[in-house]
Structure 1
Amino acid sequence: MNMIQDFIVYLEDEKGLSENTLESYNRDLRQFKEYIKENDYDSIDQVNKTAIITYLMYLQKKGRAASTISRSLASIRSFYQFLLNIGKVSKDPTINLQSPKQEKKLPNILTLKEVEILLEQPDINSPKGVRDRAMLELLYAAGIRVSELIKLDMEDINLDMGFIMCSRESTNERIIPIGKMAIEMLRDYVSNHRNSFIKNNIESALFVNYHGKRLTRQGFWKIIKSYTKKANINKKITPHTLRHSFAVHLIQNGADLKSVQEMLGHSDISTTQIYTQIVESKIKDVYKKAHPRA
């Protein structure tokens, strides 16, 4: 199992996967390695289909979600395909193994009012509040991921033209328009407050922390968690919630699915279609409540 690191390097160099995706692969395979070691398999070539099925059942008994088990199987499958290609194993034990069926859960979204309440939580009379408000406004205005938000550099925003340039991992750059509220808050932050955080003038990151360094995912998680608590909204809110809300609100107001797909950076439109299900379910709820013969 010392081939795991070689596999991770391969994914990073050849596939250009993000750091978070690489961490998921590494975590899944390390856990699989521990299980194999505890069950006395001397080599990876000894692992057969029965062993992997038993491992998946072990994960299920431990209460792992179907999505987690499916991801683990996908990681193991990719790993064995890699080993097969470089001649380290003679067979792929994952062939014809099916992932557990997953219940498709509709993503949690905020109403327009709830979005307003959340965005109004930062105190814009302080540099930190202006920075935080600018980040929240931008997340909702552009529907970008948190990983994309924290990777933005100063050169990626054009406030005069009203757009940002965003890249997802190693894929092509996409241009996303942003609204006037996001533009105003970004302009205030960049012009009046960013320099109060900066310790080194060569720092290129748009959003920085108190140390003048690029804000991290963990740092942003703490920020949105604190404002969620302050807003007293009785919903589970994650950084991705604003992205989901962005998509649903666009579709509710007449945006076509293809345009929303492009703004979100989805490679497959079927990923974007889940937001139409949310809109349709809300329409059905309204109908049932409002129609006298529903």
Structure 2
Amino acid sequence: MPSENELHRAKEAFLKYLDGIRGYSSLTIRSYHDAIDEMLLYAEIHDEADILMINLMPLRLRIAPLKSKTIAAKLSAIRSFVKYLRSQKKTVELRGDESVKTPKTLPKPVSHDHIIHALQCADPMAQLAITMLYTMGLRISELTNLRVDDISHEWCRVRGKGDKERDVPMLGNITTMVQTYQRISPSKAYVFEAKGEKLSENSLRYMITKAFAKVGLKVTPHQLRHSYATELLNNGARIADVSELLGHASMATTQIYTKLGNALKMDHYLKSHPLCHSPEDSQ
């Protein structure tokens, strides 16, 4: 079995990764810290033929009285830690981590003004990355894999989950930004490269979170995708169109992902339903 000190050092390295690379809030990092400490204290952990075995059942029994949402959050934090351990070349088998059903929650969108403020303080690469996420609704993985040849004058070919492709509208000034950036920093194939190699997701994520940190904000790339969808829906875009632009396999995902405010729903209802109009309106 790995020593307690080794696992605690791995935990501290993981938390620094969440802060510096993923840009998680201090409150979220604290919740991860507590969940992992509980795992280290109550789970059965031992080595078996060079495999780190983690059985969460003793922990699950202890936290069973808690609300399902709280249990799900703790399990999610532990799974993320295990994923990090595996990325560090550690073979880990996790048991007793079955999901707990809980209502889906959403990341908060970033206000337009905050995004503009961050763009004003960002370097050219960060400016382009933030702008493309915000105006095209891309996942960070899609932005990483975006090739120069994928971009035309008004459209961009995006490769999403499961290698599914979709075409996303691209504003003319964004195309110009890409061309300007390419003159400053020419690349072989991908829009974002460093020393002739495609920039990794973590490098792009760190660059974006750092740009927002300059203006005192904790913002993740996924929040920019959420902001894109929210702005479209709040300004009258059809949910079917937004779903297609986001690359969702099901419109139900978009309905969960982009909740309209009640006031906007009422406004759309009053404008759309025929019985909400006076007889004079139909003449």
Given the two structures, how large is their TM-score scaled by the length of structure 1? 0.58
2:160 aligned with 1:178: no
Change (3 A) 1:142 1:60: farther
| 1:114–1:271 CA distance, 2 compared to 1 (3 A) | same
Shift of 1:72: 7.9
Q: In the alignment, which residue of structure 1 is the partner of 2:118?
A: 118
Verify the 8 A CA contact 2:110 2:227 in the aligned structure 1. yes
Specify the SS of the correspondent of 2:214.
helix
Are residue 232 (structure 1) and residue 216 (structure 2) matched? yes
The 1:37/1:186 distance shift into structure 2, 3 A limit, reads same
Distance across 2 between alignment mates of 1:179 and 1:164: 10
**Any idea what the Cα deviations from partners look like across 1:253-285, whole Å, max 9, x if unmatched?**
1111111111111112221112442x315759x
Aligned CA distance change for structure 1 residues 253 and 66 (closer, same or farther; 3 Å): same
Residues 229, 36 of structure 1: CA spacing in aligned structure 2 closer, same or farther, 3 A cutoff? closer
Corresponding residue SS for 1:136 = helix
Report how far residue 170 of structure 1 moved. 2.6
Q: Which residue of the partner structure matches residue 246 of structure 1?
A: 228
Task: Report if the CA contact (8 A) 1:152-1:206 is conserved.
Answer: yes
Q: Look up the SS of the partner of 1:140 in the other structure.
A: helix
Structure-2 residue corresponding to 1:150: 144
Q: 1:206 aligns with which of 184, 191, 199?
A: 191
CA drift at 1:150: 0.6
Partner of 1:139: 133
CA distance, structure 1, for counterparts of residue 76 and residue 220 of structure 2? 23
1:82-119 deviation line (CA, Å, top 9, x unaligned)? xxxxxxxxxxx98xx97323243232111221222122
Equivalent-residue separation in structure 2 for 1:103 and 1:282 (angstroms): 22
Say which SS state the counterpart of residue 144 (structure 1) adopts: coil
> Hey, what does 1:69 align to over in structure 2?
75
Distance 2:71 2:157 in 1: 35
Task: Please report how far the alpha carbon of residue 66 of structure 1 lies from its aligned counterpart in structure 2 after TM superposition.
Answer: 0.7
Task: Tell me the distance in 1 between the aligned counterparts of 2:76 and 2:185.
Answer: 42
Q: Identify which of 184, 200, 220 aligns with 1:193.
A: 184
Distance 1:148 1:276 in 2: 20
TM-score normalized by the length of structure 2: 0.61
- Native 8 Å contact 1:111 1:245 kept in 2: yes
Give the secondary-structure state (helix, strand or coil) at the position aligned to 1:155. Answer: helix
Residue 65 (structure 1) shift: 5.3
Aligned to 2:101: 101
| Amino acid in the other structure paired with 1:268 | S
Secondary structure at the counterpart of residue 163 of structure 2: coil
User: What is the alpha-carbon distance in structure 1 between the residues aligned to residue 63 and residue 205 of structure 2?
Assistant: 28
Identity of aligned residues (%): 27
Larger strand fraction of residues: 2
Worse overlay, 177-186 or 136-145: 177-186
How far apart, CA to CA, are the structure 2 residues paired with 1:220 and 1:98? 32
Offset at 1:53? 4.5
Distance 1:59 1:193, change over 3 A: farther
Computed over aligned residues only, the root mean square deviation of the Cα atoms, in angstroms, reads 3.8
Aligned equivalent of 2:12:
none
How many residues align? The count is: 207
CA distance in 2, matches of 1:180, 1:220: 23
Per the alignment, do residues 111 and 281 of structure 1 end up closer, same or farther by CA in structure 2, a change over 3 Å counting?
A: farther
State the alpha-carbon separation in 2 of the partners of residues 118 and 282 from structure 1.
29
Instruction: In structure 1, list runs of 5 or more residues that go unmatched.
Output: 1-30, 43-50, 74-92, 123-128, 285-294
The alignment partner of 1:273 has SS state of: helix
Matches within 5 A, 1:22-37: none
**2-side partners of 1:166 and 1:60: how far apart?**
43
